[in-house]
Copies of this chain bind each other. A is one copy, B any other.
Amino acid sequence: MIILGIDPGTATTGYGVIRSDLNGRITVLDFGVILTFPTMTAPDRLASIYDGMNLLIEKHTPDCLATERLFFSKNETTAISVGRAIGVVLLAAAKHNLPWIEYTPMQVKQAVTGTGAAHKPQMQKMVATLLGLPEIPKPDDAADALAIAICHMHSAKIMSYRDLAKKSTRG
């Protein structure tokens, strides 16, 4: 299973691509950021994110797109701006028939560190450890995207265990 984790934003969209094999081994295939610049118009920034997403999906042919559900307590202008970026990310998924799943920040923290109360440095260190990387992936948005991908991998594993348990109970 190949998972594409995305941490969307107008200026910086982090991505992380991981593969888990049948033995549960995780391999990092790719991580980084899609950058856009304030000198560009808003539509052109969105087009860059969309084009970058299409390239990533075509390169890695992931089985699933995972993102983090965002919460904004103060600034609805930021919410609209991040919402726009999410819009074109989800559109790229739809255009490739890629299933999409969303996790809360709490679920991502829990999956990566075992606790919903983890701080960012703990998260990043655990991402590096779980993926066998020699150092913390940079920039932060790429590490966040990898954390989201790890969260989905854990969640998918739990779901498949449940399916197996159901089958063995039935059998």
Contact = CB atoms under 8 A, between A and B. Distances in A.
B86 A43 contact: no
Interface string A112-133: 0000000000000000000000
Contact of A82 (B82, B83, B93, B100): B83
Contact of A90 (B70, B84, B86): B84
Interface string A74-96: 00100111111111101101110
In the assembly, how many copies of this chain are there? 2
Interface residues of A, number: 29
Contacts of A168: none
A76 B78 CA distance: 10
Interface of A: 41-44, 46-47, 50, 70-73, 76, 79-88, 90-91, 93-95, 98, 100
